[in-house]
Structure 1
Amino acid sequence: MAVNVPGLVVVVIFYIIILFIGIWASRKSKKAEKTCAGTKSEVTIVGGRNISVLVGVFTTTATWVGGGYILGNAEVVYSPKQGLIWAIGPPAFAINLILGGLFFAKPMRSKCYLTMLDPFQHRYGNMFTATLLLPALVSDILWVACILAALGGTMSIILGLSSAVSIIISAAVSIFYTFLGGLYSVAYTDVIQFFFMFFSLFLCIPFVVLSPAVADISVHLNQSNVNSWVGELKLADAGKWADEMLLLALGGLAYQALYQRILSAASSAQAQITCLAAAGVVFIMGIPSVVIGAMASIADWNQTAYGLPPPFERGEAGKILPLALQYLTPTWLSVLGIGSVAAAVMSSVDSILLSSASMFTQNIYKTTLRKQASERELQWVIRVAILLVGLAGMGLAFKGESVFALWLLSTDLLYCIILPQLICVLHLICANSYGAICGYIVGLLLRLLSGDSILGIPPVLLFPGWREEDGVITQYFPYRTLVMLCSLICIITVSKMVEVGFHQQLIPQSWDLLRVFKKKKENQGEEVPLPQGEENTTLSARL
């Protein structure tokens, strides 16, 4: 396939603009380091906590509306076995941000944390916090892989450019400006990327709908084959649908990328407003993908240069959005479309890179490995971590798995393991280290035993309704939600049982190996200093 030179030039110009804005924002970050009351690492991680509501809404939306969101929704609507009813991304992400604003923004921002792992460190200590970093890191790498794979497939179709080259260039640009400016570069490039995504994607809708290859929509609405794009939800599939909906709606609450935006706000109220406003915008941004996927499902591909068989029969359902842009819209518009996907990808990649790097630097390196590290050293650790996470995600992106499948998998570990821990540490006073450790083990063990086809892990636990399709076992029971609830219940139950055991002296105090209750007693036994001038009065009273 020949390279689309005009399209390539447009994309290169777009990348140069983004790079220029990232460099400009990095200079703004340097100025903030001099004027901000916080440390240099705080400016890098949370932008000195002075990101405005408007910029916060744009950067939150741009982060959530990534390549997985745009291509994944179109893939699901187009696929004959799924359809519109399975396009759970827009409502799930809207619910996710609403819940984040109502229940998680205030307790996180009011205590001035720097990362999602800070509350764990304050309550449970460094060792357990380090174990939580692992699933968070794996999830971020999978998310990077998902959206870079989405971009690689899109560029290879529309520009005729090698998928590997597209992935490498996009990753390099994102890594570079995130490396330079931290959250400032991420936030301000996200603003430009958001507007580009919004206008180019919505501009594509009328051209796709009015394409000669797309049949009259009214005809399809009056025929029984409306299910070709609307889809249907059978009772036997309801468990799987509910599981995926809850996975995306609740699992996102355990993303550091969300808390990076919350913690960068000037106040708790501003953080809540940012989340609630972004929820509506994220939902709206899902409309173009859904419409394009629906139109592609009723299109007569034989009237296009693509020909027959259609994309689904060729195993290219995951690339349906770029295919629709390439064959159902004018050439100039397909180039704008690839720009929108590139914008979506970079706006998510930069956020994920900074998220992982922030958690490692703040919660592992600074508190455990190098407690005396200087601010300059911490900034370089963040940069090296950004590079390593980017390279790891880029390597996985070459595998070319289904975008929607990688999208779900990236949230999986967070939903099953970290979400129940986060709920307990923020909202339940009774939670302690013993319950947290048991909940972690139960969640991880049950999730591994449930298997995963993408990672090639065969299921040991077969839940009701499982099916074997093409030699692969698929679980139709909402097993991820069950695993999450088991972990949550385990944390609460074990925490209460251990607390009662020690307080009622049913368990010897010498068995408190983690010093949870010894520390409480020590803190309760500490003498509270009296105000100046009251010491003599108190002493006289005692005499």
Structure 2
Amino acid sequence: MTLGTGDWIVIAVYVGIVAAITIWHTAKTTTTSEFLLAGRRLTLPIFVATLVSTWYGGIFGISEFTEYYGLGAWLVQGIFWYIIYAVFALFIAEKIRSMPFYTIPDILENNYGKKAAFVGGIFTYIMVNPAPYLLSLGILIAYFSPLTLVESIIISTCLCIIYTYLAGFRGVVYTDLFQFMWMFLAFIVLFYLAYNEWGGIEFLQKNLPETHLQITGGMSTGVILVWAGLACWVFVDPNFYQRCAAAKNPKTAKHGILTCIAFWLVFDIVAIGSAMYGFAALSAGELSIPPGNNKYMYLALADHLMSSPLKGLFVAGIVSTIMSTADSFLFVAAVNISRDYYWRYLNREASDEKVVVATRIAILITAVFSAALAIALPKVTQLWYALGNIGLSALLISMLRTFYGKKHGGHAALASMFAGAAVACLWLLFGLIHMKNGFPVYPLGVEPLYPGLLLSYLAYEISGRLSHESNSKK
């Protein structure tokens, strides 16, 4: 894709508006509550915009998934998640907002003690490392510039640092509002132009494999169940907890997530639909992409369908999609260090100023670590997937029990975390040792998440009951 003067002007306007939003909200950030939760005053529109935009940082992954499974991408990346979103909204969101807490380890400490909070904080940090998104943004910068990937990752990291460091969570959510509007505009325009160019379903039926137009996308039941399980990520995602805690009131948290589902549905339709048009056009010979570069389908499609300055609008839309996730993960990971370790274990009486300073230092530390990880492991998304399985296996049971069911003590939570993480690690290691055709082969053909969750649940129950019996004898 080549960009003209008009495109670069549009991109410059985008950058300028983001900078202006940052400067404006920096002056309003003074207390810990303001810096970490925007004063717990997020209204419904702001809540919806920041949560929706935070969830699409892996936009290139959507096009890759669509290439292999077509409409199946909507099932495993959309429909299953909508169900979990709705469960979270109806049964958990209001409870989070009613609690006087900031983070997941806050909740763990209140229910299980400091040791559980310490261990849980480690897994939380693992799950929100922004390295995959800094890498994605770096790849995009390198695509349009003579810079190397390493230089591009450094630039992408600096961009994310600027407004998270200066304006905190307030800067994140208000830039997310702007990026939310821009990313939707960009992809709606792309989908419309693709539909206008090639027509409706007939073009897709003619040029895509038959399975691509089936809701399962040709995936096996086992693969579908794996992705269905991964949707439970929502229950332990710190971004959901932080935004619910920052909502104006419990109803805003609940209704906000339910409203988000409608926007996620729309964006999935235009994003997956555009990718399907792109791959159909590629099959029909009306679009060309160098071999091995199908992850750039959106850019190739935009280059084919758009002229200046629409190309600039779309590129800024891609940047918005990635940046709104990268900044959120960077900030939540930094809060994990400052709130969950500095404040909890080193200085419980820290003033607002000291907590804000600690968070800003943590932003820099996390950014440097994440950039280094992205540079060292350019396939870091595989690492992110593996660590996500470990984190989910460790945290899910203990976190859900803080809201529903019979809750046991700290020993049960620790046993559950260690057992779930250990089994998931061993399962992953087995798969890596027994690779076949470039893919891991797991015992019994079962992905790590399910044995991890099973052992985590058993450890929670057994340890809890043993502890209860021991206390009864005393």
TM beyond 0.5: yes
**What residue number does 1:445 align with?**
422
Distance in structure 1 (CA, Å) of the matches to 2:401 and 2:21: 40
Deviations 1:184-238 (A, max 9, x none): 1111111111111111110011223344xx6974154268833356585557x21
The yes-or-no answer on 1:477 pairing with 2:446 is yes
Report if the CA contact (8 A) 2:427-2:442 is conserved. Answer: no
- Say whether 1:75 aligns with 2:64: yes
Letter in 2 for 1:413: I
Aligned to 1:260: 242
Residue of structure 1 in register with 2:72 after alignment: 85
What is the RMSD of the two structures over their aligned residues, measured on CA atoms? 2.9
Of 208, 218, 222, the residue aligned with 1:239 is 222
Map 1:410-421 onto structure 2 (within 5 A): 411-421=388-398
Q: Which amino acid aligns with 1:23?
A: I
Alpha-carbon distance in 2 for matches of 1:384, 1:77: 39
- Are 2:473 and 1:489 aligned? no
Greater mean deviation of Cα atoms: 110-119 or 5-14: 5-14
Q: 1:51 aligns with which of 42, 48, 65?
A: 42
* Equivalent in 414, 417, 434 of residue 411 of structure 2: 434
Larger Rg: 1
* Matched-pair contact (CA < 8 Å) for 1:140–1:410: no
1:338 to 286, 310, 315: 315
In the alignment, residue 469 of structure 1 is paired with which amino acid? Answer: N
Distance in 1, Cα, partners of 2:276 & 2:111: 49
Equivalent residues of 2:63, 2:272 under 8 A apart: yes
| Corresponding residue number in structure 2 for 1:10 | 10
Cα distance in 1 for residues equivalent to 2:301 and 2:134: 19
Once the two structures are superposed, residues 313-368 of structure 1 have per-residue CA deviations (whole angstroms, 9 ceiling, x without a partner) of x3323332223223444353332221111111221122112212222222221121
Task: Give the direction of change, closer, same or farther, for the CA distance of 1:358–1:471 in structure 2 (3 Å limit).
Answer: closer
- 1:426 partner SS: coil
**More displaced 10-residue stretch of structure 1: 413-422 or 259-268:** 413-422
What is the match of residue 218 of structure 1?
A: 202
Deviation at 1:135, TM superposition (A): 1.7
Matched, 1:401 2:387: no
Q: Distance in 2 between matches of 1:6 and 1:340?
A: 15
Query: How many percent of aligned residue pairs carry the same amino acid?
Result: 20
Structure 1 pair 176–300 and aligned structure 2 pair: CA distance change class (3 A)? closer
* Partner-residue secondary structure (3-state), 2:350: coil
Q: Displacement, 1:174?
A: 2.0
Q: CA deviation at 1:147?
A: 2.1
Question: What is the rounded CA distance, in whole Å, between the counterparts of 1:104 and 1:431 in structure 2?
Answer: 19
Aligned-pair CA distance for 1:434: 1.5
Count the aligned residue pairs: 471
- Give yes or no for the alignment of 1:186 onto 2:172: yes
Q: Quick one: structure 1 residues 336 and 223, their matched pair in 2 at CA, closer, same or farther if it must change by over 3 Å?
A: closer
What is the CA-CA distance between 1:420 and the residue it aligns to? Answer: 1.4
Look up the match of 1:115: 103
Secondary structure, counterpart of 1:113 in structure 2: coil
Q: In structure 2, which of residues 242, 249, 255 is the aligned counterpart of residue 273 of structure 1?
A: 255
Once the 2 structures are TM-superposed, how far is the Cα of residue 461 of structure 1 from its aligned partner?
9.7
CA contact (8 A) 2:62 2:272 kept: yes
**Equivalent residue, structure 2, for 1:539:** none
Unmatched tracts of structure 1, length 5 or more: 31-39, 452-456, 510-543
Change (3 A) 1:233 1:197: closer
Equivalence for 1:360: 337
What's the counterpart of residue 34 of structure 1? none
Secondary structure of the corresponding residue to residue 197 of structure 1: helix
- Specify whether residues 28 and 498 from structure 1 end up closer, same or farther in structure 2 by C-alpha distance, changes over 3 A only: same
Cα separation, partners in 2 of 1:171 and 1:294, compared to 1, 3 Å = same
SS at match of 2:128: helix
For 1:217 and 1:280, the matched residues in 2 are separated by 23
Which letter maps to 2:104? M
Task: Give distance in 1, aligned partners of 2:167 and 2:194.
Answer: 38
**Which residue of the other structure, out of 140, 158, 167, is the alignment partner of 1:154?**
140
Q: Residue 372 of structure 1 aligns to a residue in which SS?
A: coil
Q: Which residue of 1 aligns with 2:29?
A: 29
Which segment is superposed worse, 149-158 or 174-183?
Answer: 149-158
**What amino acid is aligned across from residue 345 of structure 1 in structure 2?**
I
Name the CA distance, whole Å, in 2 between partners of 1:98 and 1:325. Answer: 33
Q: Which amino acid aligns with 2:431?
A: P
Encode CA deviations 1:399-432: one digit per residue, 9 max, x unaligned: 43286x5664463233211111201223244311
Q: Does residue 1:105 correspond to 2:88, yes or no?
A: no
User: Which secondary structure state, in structure 1, belongs to the residue aligned with residue 47 of structure 2?
Assistant: helix
Question: What SS does the corresponding residue of 1:450 show, helix, strand or coil?
Answer: helix
Structure 1: distance between partners of 2:421 and 2:387: 15
Tell me which of 187, 190, 203 is aligned to 1:204: 190
Residues 232 and 275 of structure 1, relative CA distance in 2, 3 Å threshold? closer
Q: Deviations over 1:284-309 (max 9, x none)?
A: 212222012211221237856x74xx
The SS at the match of 1:430 is coil
**Alignment match, 2:273:** 291
Shift of 1:471: 6.9
Q: Structure 1 residues 224 and 208 mapped into 2: Cα distance closer, same or farther (>3 Å)?
A: closer
- Counterpart CA distance in 1 for 2:158 and 2:124 is 22
- TM-score in terms of structure 1 length: 0.79
